[in-house]
Chains A and B, each alone.
Chain A
Amino acid sequence: MADNNTVASTLDTTQYIGVIIGNEQYGIDIKYIDNIVKMQRITRVPKAQPYFYGVINIRGEIIPVMSLRVKFGLEADEFSKKTRILIVKPEQQAPVGFIVDEVREVVNLADSDIDKSSNTAEQGSFISGVGKHSKGLISLMNVAAVIAEKDKEAAI
């Protein structure tokens, strides 16, 4: 954390992990990322929300795993070699796993590269802004909103 902050403050940029979900690229603030693991066996939890596929074991800790595809209203995941689980640790909360199609790269974005007022994002509240970088646009994920329970209508 401290390192990220110093990097961010000296260069005045924030680092995002670029991930692919469907045909869109999303960026997740690197400060939330605890770990990135390969797809592994997920233990189903009966009666859970449809986007929670179950729980996995990360070094003895039991972590619930959600499918961002299902959460974002896309068709269910097809696991491939590139599928990854991002272990995201929001502030003051227990970690949670996000299943993504692919993890691409780390993107550095300056504040000036981020368009916060953008209304182009499909999922509204899940996006905190759109970043512009050399390879195109990247939707910046609002991690707190994704984890929050209230948005049932979004997961059509």
Chain B
Amino acid sequence: MDVSQYLEIFIEETKEHLQSLNEQLLVLEKEPDNKETINEIFRAAHSLKGMAGTMGYKRMQKLTHDMENVFQEIRNEKMKVSSTLVDGLFRGLDALEEYLDNIVNNQDEGTNDNQDIIDLFQKELQAGLNGTAAPAAPAAAEPAAAATATASAAATDAQELLNSFTLTEAEKNMINKARAQEQKAYIVRINIQDTCVLKAARAFLVFKAIESVGETIKSMPDAQAIEDEKFDFSFSVVVTSKKTMEEVQAAVMNVSEVKSVDIALIDETKCETKEIAEQTEQAAQAATGTAAAAQTKAPATTSKKPVVNRSVRVDIDKLDDLMNLVSELIIAKNGLVSISPADLVRDEKNSSFRDQVEYLERITTNIHQSVMKVRMVPIESVVNRFPRMIRDLSKKLDKKMELYMSGEETELDRTVIDEIGDPLQHILRNAADHGLESNEERIKAGKPEVGSIFLSAYQEGNNVVIEVRDDGHGIDVEKVKAKAIERGTITSDQAETMSDKEIIDLLFRPSFSTAEKISDISGRGVGLDVVKTKIEALGGSVECRSVLGEGSTFIIRLPLTLAIIQSLMVVLGNEKYAIPLGSIQTIEDIPTTDIKYVEGKEVINLRGTVIPLVRLDKILDVPNAKQDQESLTVVIVAKGDKQAGLIVDDLIGQLEIVIKSIGKYINNSKMISGATILGDGEIALILDANTLV
């Protein structure tokens, strides 16, 4: 069977299962006796195995199979969870992730058998079971169990099968008609292997197989439910066919992953006219007690499963398209608003027009918000891999530490989520490696031996704030200062005048690492500056606060979304420009007389800070800019610790704008980061304040 169309689902689901395995294993490590966790792990491993098998990834299947065996024994309380075992299991997960990466990249699981890990499992199994049961035992037990299951299924009374369904008049007629053409009617119950992942696909193949030998009259549950996978591992079909019972059975058995097929001939009594049918039904009702019980049992088992999120996966491009359309709709709506005859005589027609426009306005706003929400992803999808990372770091660094996370449900735009993982990981590694002291030092300092790292996320206005805090020794400002002077980053004179905060900010400069020894966890000098660049590229900012002896906090601020930003609209001549609000600090009215000159350049002295002025109209060659005014409107923008004052003619106000590209044809100076369409259809260019500072 061609499985490539399921590849995407497979990859997504495998990722989910691996993530859940990771999480559950972490729990298991702490609470080795937690039954629920062990069950959860077993289930995830089992599904993984089934999926890998379906997709034909043999090595992956083998490895998960061995892991599953281990879990099975743990579940049966035949062996204990040891730390070497957990280590091994984590290694197994890593190996599985490797397979998955290979599959993602070239649709092939690779050639690494990971035999050492498998051997380890076997050994653990043997050791755990004290050699009483060979590791092969569970594997052997499984087919045996399956075999008995088949046997018992086969032994199911054909009568029970017959009683398990009723036919409508129309269906009876169809069967009778078919019988007139020397066909026979059968009831077929198909039991699919419970390892099967894509049940609906299997069912589809079964229907295909049946079509090749006969005709389907009815199915239980109905076709739609089967298509939606709303059935357990078996479903029944009423078939008319010229073939014998055995031939039909064989045809269905040919479909892979079908565990067993029960078949029974539907005799005439089942298709008699109404009153007889009713009688038999009544008689059957008593008899079907067992069947009914079986039927009620099925829904009962399904209801036990956790409630599945009703969701669809959507290509991000499609969402972008939708987003664009919504933006257009807003523009069109704004156009309507602007021609709405607000100042005309208030007659009935006009007021109803206005009502409609207002209604439209409300709807578009709601649509916009909904679309934005659709694009939002909880930050959980990024941070959920960190507990595992911290655990590994803890072992590697031989420091005891614990990660506490909060606010994982905070949502960010998908585009931001995709980019934020690496910087966050870097900061966490820093905290673990440099931030926290060694166990002995902590005890000496009177702190709890186990170091704590806190990761918390929350929304603040149009920003999402992510804080990474550790209770380590904090940043030694004097040490940073000395290092900076030694490296020539600053002079000792400069160092005298710098505040502690400014010194700490030096850490974000390129090639600056104060770690005394370079480890492979962090501290190669390509650290925080990369983090800073990345976060700034996302339109965010990062800062660090630290108290010596108490710990440090890294605070990352990110815009909720990249596609839509808050901006300040300004006028230059008769052109409009947008300046992203994120880079604006203040807006000042400066009398021309306050302009000073330093090295021939215009500067102002704003509350003790000397800020260079940028005449935007000159830089942007704006025609008809206002000249010779008595006071200037200056927008103070900042990039890191540098500031600049942009002189503009006028301010329009704050506006939420949709960022669009101006394409590749035009020689774009870096000052323009894009364009946006205003309410009246006019285009305003977006200034990149970072390039002007």
Which chain A residues border B105 with CB–CB below 8 Å? Answer: none
- Residue among A45, A57, A61 making CB contact with B666, cutoff 8 Å: A45
Q: A45-B666, A47-B621, A62-B663 are in contact. Are A57 and B682 (CB under 8 A)?
A: yes
Q: Is the CB of A57 within 8 A of B677?
A: yes
Which chain B residues border A49 with CB–CB below 8 Å? Answer: 666-667
| Interface status of A136 (Cβ within 8 A of chain B) | no
- Residue among A48, A55, A57, A94 making CB contact with B667, cutoff 8 Å: A48
Q: A41-B682, A62-B677, A62-B683 are in contact. Are A96 and B665 (CB under 8 A)?
A: yes
Closest beta carbon of chain B to A146's beta carbon, Å: 11
Which chain B residues border A41 with CB–CB below 8 Å? Answer: 682
In the complex, what distance in Å separates the CA atom of A49 from the CA atom of B666?
7
Which chain A residues border B662 with CB–CB below 8 Å? Answer: 45, 55, 62, 64
Which chain A residues border B683 with CB–CB below 8 Å? Answer: 43, 55-57, 62
Which chain A residues border B681 with CB–CB below 8 Å? Answer: 57
The segment from B324-332, B465-473, B484-492 that touches chain A is B324-332
| Interface status of B340 (Cβ within 8 A of chain A) | no
| Interface status of B668 (Cβ within 8 A of chain A) | yes
Q: Is the CB of B663 within 8 A of A60?
A: no
| Interface status of B620 (Cβ within 8 A of chain A) | yes
Closest beta carbon of chain A to B667's beta carbon, Å: 5
| Interface status of A59 (Cβ within 8 A of chain B) | yes
Q: Is the CB of B663 within 8 A of A45?
A: no
Q: Which of A23-69 contact B (CB under 8 A)?
A: 41, 43-49, 52, 55-57, 59-64, 66
Q: Is the CB of A47 within 8 A of B669?
A: yes
Q: When each residue 290-327 of chain B gets 1 if its CB lies under 8 Å from chain A and 0 otherwise, what string results? A: 00000000000000000000000000000000001101
- Residue among A43, A45, A56, A61 making CB contact with B668, cutoff 8 Å: A45
Closest beta carbon of chain A to B656's beta carbon, Å: 16
Closest beta carbon of chain A to B48's beta carbon, Å: 41
In the complex, what distance in Å separates the CA atom of A147 from the CA atom of B666?
10
Q: Is the CB of A60 within 8 A of B327?
A: yes
Closest beta carbon of chain B to A151's beta carbon, Å: 14
Q: Is the CB of B665 within 8 A of A94?
A: yes
Q: Which of B50-94 contact A (CB under 8 A)?
A: none
| Interface status of B661 (Cβ within 8 A of chain A) | yes
Using CB atoms, name the residue of chain B closest to A147.
B665
Q: Is the CB of B665 within 8 A of A46?
A: no
| Interface status of B684 (Cβ within 8 A of chain A) | yes
In the complex, what distance in Å separates the CA atom of A62 from the CA atom of B622?
21
Using CB atoms, name the residue of chain A closest to B664.
A94
Q: Is the CB of A43 within 8 A of B575?
A: yes
Closest beta carbon of chain A to B522's beta carbon, Å: 41
What is the size, in residues, of chain B's interface with A at 8 Å between Cβ atoms? 29
Q: Is the CB of B682 within 8 A of A64?
A: no
Which chain B residues border A55 with CB–CB below 8 Å? Answer: 662-663, 666, 675, 683
What is the size, in residues, of chain A's interface with B at 8 Å between Cβ atoms? 22
Q: Is the CB of B675 within 8 A of A60?
A: no
Which chain B residues border A48 with CB–CB below 8 Å? Answer: 666-668
| Interface status of B672 (Cβ within 8 A of chain A) | yes
| Interface status of B534 (Cβ within 8 A of chain A) | no
Closest beta carbon of chain A to B575's beta carbon, Å: 7
Using CB atoms, name the residue of chain A closest to B687.
A46
Q: A62-B663, A94-B663 are in contact. Are A45 and B327 (CB under 8 A)?
A: no
Which chain A residues border B324 with CB–CB below 8 Å? Answer: 60
Q: Which of B471-518 contact A (CB under 8 A)?
A: none
Which chain A residues border B325 with CB–CB below 8 Å? Answer: 60
| Interface status of B15 (Cβ within 8 A of chain A) | no
In the complex, what distance in Å separates the CA atom of A127 from the CA atom of B622?
35
Which chain A residues border B668 with CB–CB below 8 Å? Answer: 45, 47-48
In the complex, what distance in Å separates the CA atom of A44 from the CA atom of B684?
9
Q: Is the CB of A60 within 8 A of B331?
A: yes
Closest beta carbon of chain A to B406's beta carbon, Å: 40
- Residue among B665, B671, B682, B684 making CB contact with A47, cutoff 8 Å: B671
Which chain A residues border B675 with CB–CB below 8 Å? Answer: 43, 55, 62
| Interface status of B685 (Cβ within 8 A of chain A) | yes
Closest beta carbon of chain A to B686's beta carbon, Å: 11
| Interface status of B660 (Cβ within 8 A of chain A) | yes
Closest beta carbon of chain B to A82's beta carbon, Å: 23
Using CB atoms, name the residue of chain A closest to B660.
A62
Q: When each residue 624-665 of chain B gets 1 if its CB lies under 8 Å from chain A and 0 otherwise, what string results? A: 000000000000000000000000000000000000111111
Q: Which of A76-119 contact B (CB under 8 A)?
A: 94, 96
- Residue among B575, B619, B622, B666 making CB contact with A64, cutoff 8 Å: B666
Closest beta carbon of chain B to A23's beta carbon, Å: 27
- Residue among A44, A60, A66, A96 making CB contact with B677, cutoff 8 Å: A60
6 A-B pairs besides A46-B622, A63-B663 with CB distance below 8 A are A43-B675, A44-B575, A47-B671, A55-B663, A57-B681, A60-B325
**Which 4 residue pairs are nearest across A and B when measured between Cβ atoms?**
A60-B328, A47-B669, A43-B683, A46-B620
- 15 A-B residue pairings within 8 Å (CB atoms): A45-B685, A46-B622, A46-B669, A46-B671, A46-B672, A49-B667, A52-B666, A52-B667, A55-B663, A55-B666, A55-B683, A57-B681, A60-B325, A62-B675, A63-B663
